[in-house]
Amino acid sequence: MPRSMRERSRSHHPADARIPERRAHHPDLTKLGGWRAMQDEASIGGKRWDEERRWALRMGLHGAESIEDKSIPTFARGELPHYAGINTFLKAPYAEDVLEVGHYDATVLGIPFDGGTTYRAGTRFGPQGVRKISALYTPYNYEMAIDLREQMTLCDAGDVFTIPANIEKSFDQISRAVSHVASSGSLPVMIGGDHSIGYPCVKGIADCTSKKIGIVHFDRHADIQEKDLDERMHTTPWFHATNMPNVPAKNLVQIGIGGWQVPRDAVKVARERETNIITMSDMEKMGIDKTIEMALEIAWDGVDMVYMSFDIDSIDCGFVPGTGWPEPGGFLPREALALAAGVAAEGICGMELVEVAPPYDQSEITALMGTRVIVDVLGSLVSSGKLGAHKRHIDKPVTLPHGEFEGKRWSNAT
């Protein structure tokens, strides 16, 4: 045995007095988040889960005699099993009648539109992709010690009827849909769609309030030039959003901008309008907490509400291949999730998750990341008690006319 190996084996021998002595002190586990979260889970309660399981038996009938778990129905209803079912986001109730969205704390609405894409199309399938993989999730988060099912209400209103070949008509439809949800008091959570929807989404909220709105925008791209390829493409939402009198450009904070894909046209506008750009390396130098603090300070300065826009391509493209404009060097997933949750902790009046393009995705990892951003934001809102805090600022609610109830679906039983 070579000498070095002998020494090493001797130093690790159990007879070595130093080791047992060092291990005699039991670590203080109560200092760990892992310990605290384990205790906190006990206080969440499980009433809604009990109710859902009873509902599932009513809707899906009692299971076979041979099944010992009597909460399992014959037809899959609700959360379980994760591989089955007709997917809404997080298997939330489908608000097929959109007049019902006001009964829920938050409403997910899909915006399947990729007519604003200047490179790869495919985000029209974003809402479906995100909904599909969201079925993998439970509404409970161990580290946050929250259970969305027990602590908030959520519905999925389905998709906005966009017009594939017409950006402007699609914008009108999107603004209208978002205004409807915002006016109901429910928090609008939009799943894109390419980033051109940022403008009509913010407009939808801005149209039903006299108050001012700041924006926190996570992206690699500045997206603030007036036009691209002669139209209001996905590189332009913030030019048009900050043209609205109650959406000041000085309250637009853009985090993660950089790389080789920022058109110089956008930089000129950002400079003229004095938006606030925190680059990826700024974030890296300052750290996550400081970045959140700075973003919130600027975005909330003199406004009443803050909107969150999260472009999935802000995350390094190695983690999110299914997107329209992939760029390396972006956020690591843990950074992105911490930043989004940190910004949401002060409250938001709406959010959008854009640029998930399932046709380019691998193993649904991009859609999964998109799902995660949304549920982490919802978790943070619940955890901080800020969910619904924006409601009192919706002081110009709109009412959209709806059709007379004289029709019915082909599938309605007679």
Binding site for Mn ion (CB under 5 A): 219, 221, 311, 313
Closer Cβ to Mn ion, 219 or 346, answer by number:
219
Q: How far is the CB of 256 from Mn ion (least distance, A)?
A: 9
In 3-state terms, what secondary structure has residue 69? coil
**Alpha carbons 204 and 349: distance in angstroms, whole number:** 11
Q: How far is the CB of 410 from Mn ion (least distance, A)?
A: 40
Write the DSSP string, 351-414. EEEE-B-GGG-STTHHHHHHHHHHHHHHHHHHHHT-TTTTGGG--S--------TT---TT---
Closer Cβ to Mn ion, 160 or 315, answer by number:
315
Closer Cβ to Mn ion, 179 or 225, answer by number:
225
**Alpha carbons 211 and 246: distance in angstroms, whole number:** 6
**Alpha carbons 225 and 211: distance in angstroms, whole number:** 25
> Please, what is the end-to-end C-alpha distance for the chain in angstroms?
88
Closer Cβ to Mn ion, 182 or 312, answer by number:
312
Closer Cβ to Mn ion, 73 or 326, answer by number:
326
Q: How far is the CB of 312 from Mn ion (least distance, A)?
A: 8
194 close to 231: Cβ distance less than 8 angstroms: no
Q: How many CB atoms lie within 10 A of CB 211?
A: 18
Q: How far is the CB of 162 from Mn ion (least distance, A)?
A: 19
377 close to 190: Cβ distance less than 8 angstroms: no
Closer Cβ to Mn ion, 115 or 379, answer by number:
115
Q: How far is the CB of 219 from Mn ion (least distance, A)?
A: 4
C-alpha distances in angstroms, 392 versus 183, 186, 210, 211?
Answer: 11, 11, 11, 10
Q: How far is the CB of 280 from Mn ion (least distance, A)?
A: 13
Question: Tell me, what amino acid is at 226?
Answer: E
Closer Cβ to Mn ion, 90 or 315, answer by number:
315
Helix (H) or strand (E) holding 216: strand 213-218
Tokens of 70: 């009597």
Q: How far is the CB of 295 from Mn ion (least distance, A)?
A: 17
**Alpha carbons 312 and 319: distance in angstroms, whole number:** 10
206 close to 373: Cβ distance less than 8 angstroms: no
Closer Cβ to Mn ion, 354 or 377, answer by number:
354
Q: How far is the CB of 320 from Mn ion (least distance, A)?
A: 11
The total number of residues shown for the chain amounts to 414
